[in-house]
Chain A
Amino acid sequence: MSWWTDPVHTIAAWLTTLLTGWGLPAWLASLIIQFLGVVVLVSLLMLLDIFLVWVERKVVARFQDRLGPNRVGPWGLIQPFADIVKLLIKEDITPAGADRVIYNLAPIISLMSVLLLWAIVPLAPQILGVDLNVGALYIIAAGALGTLAIIMAAWSSNNKYALIGAFRQVAVLVSFEVPMIAVMLIPTVLAGSMGMNAIVQAQNVPFVFLAPLAALIFIIAAIAELGRSPFDMNEAESEIVAGFHIEYTGMKFGLFYAGELLHAFTFGGFWAILFFGGYRFFGLETLGPLVSAAILLAKAMVGYWFIMWVRYTVMRIRIDHMLAFNWKFLTPLAFVLLMVTALVNAWLRNSNVLIYVLAMLAANAVIGLGVLQILRNVSRRDREKVEGPSQPVAAGQ
């Protein structure tokens, strides 16, 4: 065991000998080491979060044909630190009618719910917080805490815009959670485990080749859960100004913002873990755990970039369209995909890998084309209801 093949456990073993050498009991030493591990991970995440602010501003600038921050430091890299100082020294305004305890608790829970997700992210087989055997359920549970934070923020700030934003956001969150759970069952079926590490280990063929439609539904549901455009009903600027965080100023607003960005990056990471092989990349992961961690972070950054790409390209849609899209399209599709995946898996699991992959791809293609055909028929019927039956164009005219 050296620092290159297993850095975390090497350091932990060294610290254990050091602490027990000071006369501490073994359980206390282990507790202190775990605590230090959590502190290091959370600190690195907050540093990453600051970097994400810079990435987001740079990328949105390029999408809108601007330069973005470029004055403070090289390529504007120091800009987020200047922003943090500004947020810290801003006056903190609490509206007169606010419920102070819940009002102050909401941004804390909002950021905490995102940080909690990272307890189970496998950066490498050797670098991972805990390998929970109920990983997929844990993601959903920790995500639900974020919903709670939004309701708390909106209800306690005593603002009608905020309350409307929170109602919409919760309706959207609970709706899009259904297809999300359904497509998270698909990697579970394919890997035979809910643990994140086991799911990555099972991906000799990345699951995106076995379940491309599931990967697509996962990222759509994730964007809705994040409350990002085109699903940003919770903070639709033109209608309800800023939604649930309208009354928040200074650092509390900053915490909501930091939580949102880190949440997007985290879901980019889970997209990579569940469907794109996580820390595995053509055998590069055998070089060492630090390389694996770099691979996962790079994949998560690609996912984050994809979410930003959608955000700055697609327009916001109305809430009735959005809920209809979820309940009448995504949910049935996700459950049909789950059934077909389970059947093909039960039928061809023990056959040749190539046949298995091709059968899965064919099943996905059939479902995808069938869904497109149904959509085409429905929209033609809707159009004819408005315009009258379409006239066939005579030849020669």
Chain B
Amino acid sequence: MQNEWLYIGLFVVVGALVPTAAIVLSWIISPKKPNPIKQSTYECGMETVGDNWVQFKAQYYVFALVFLVFDVETVFLFPWAVALGKLSVFAVLEGIIFILILLAGLVYAWRKGTLDWV
């Protein structure tokens, strides 16, 4: 185990090859008799109207934005958590103030009504 990330790379390769092999094997031995009805889009017996690739609700986007704030800032918290045992009390309190600022952002989004599904 000289290089850890080489091992992860091998894992990606093998992890992709195994499902690919299953799909290829199934493609070789399964019957292939396509017809237009069989290949039509499934919609509980209804004819599909229009294209699928349409505009969607902006609500999802707002949740993604709130998530992004938290996700980026928690990356800063991981080094703090690892080093906590060696830090002075001041640094511990500083990390807690950072979390409080994060939570202030959550409270702001909450008061704004962003977190309510409409």
Q: Which residues of A contact B (CB under 8 A)?
A: 30-31, 34-35, 38-39, 42, 46, 87-97, 104, 107-109, 111-112, 115-116, 118-119, 129-132, 134, 136-137, 155, 158-161, 163, 167, 170-171, 174-175, 177-178, 181-182, 185, 188-189, 192-194, 241, 246-247, 250-252, 254-255, 319-320, 323-324, 327-328, 331-332, 335, 338-339, 342-343, 345-346, 349
| Contact call A96/B40, Cβ cutoff below 8 A | yes
| Contact call B78/A188, Cβ cutoff below 8 A | yes
* A42 to B109 CA separation, bound complex (whole angstroms): 43
| Contact call A332/B106, Cβ cutoff below 8 A | yes
Q: Which residues of B contact A (CB under 8 A)?
A: 1-2, 4, 6-8, 10-12, 14-16, 18-20, 22-23, 25-27, 29-34, 36, 38-44, 48, 51-53, 56-57, 59-60, 63-64, 66-67, 70-71, 74-75, 77-78, 81-85, 87, 89, 92, 95-96, 99-100, 102-103, 106, 109-110, 115-117
Q: A interface, by DSSP: helix, strand, loop or mixed? A: helix
With most chain A CB atoms within 10 A of its CB, the pick from B11, B56, B89 is: B11
* A134 to B59 CA separation, bound complex (whole angstroms): 33
Task: Across the interface, name the chain A residue whose C-beta is closest to B107.
Answer: A332
Q: Nearest Cβ in chain B — how far from A374, in angstroms?
A: 14
| Contact call A97/B52, Cβ cutoff below 8 A | yes
Task: Across the interface, name the chain A residue whose C-beta is closest to B4.
Answer: A130
Point out the residue from B29, B41, B78 that lies within 8 Å of A136, measured CB to CB.
B78
Point out the residue from A111, A246, A323, A328 that lies within 8 Å of B42, measured CB to CB.
A246
Contact A91 to B106, CB < 8 A, known contacts A97-B41, A188-B78: no
| Contact call A189/B41, Cβ cutoff below 8 A | no
| Contact call B66/A159, Cβ cutoff below 8 A | no
Chain B residues lying within 8 Å of A254, measured Cβ to Cβ, are 22
| Contact call B115/A323, Cβ cutoff below 8 A | yes
| Contact call A167/B57, Cβ cutoff below 8 A | yes
Chain B residues lying within 8 Å of A94, measured Cβ to Cβ, are 39
| Contact call B99/A335, Cβ cutoff below 8 A | yes
| Contact call A320/B116, Cβ cutoff below 8 A | yes
Chain B residues lying within 8 Å of A109, measured Cβ to Cβ, are 16
| Contact call B14/A39, Cβ cutoff below 8 A | yes
The 9 closest A-B pairs by CB, nearest first: A320-B117, A251-B26, A115-B15, A174-B67, A112-B15, A130-B4, A188-B81, A96-B39, A192-B85
Chain A residues lying within 8 Å of B63, measured Cβ to Cβ, are 171, 174-175, 323
* A46 to B27 CA separation, bound complex (whole angstroms): 20
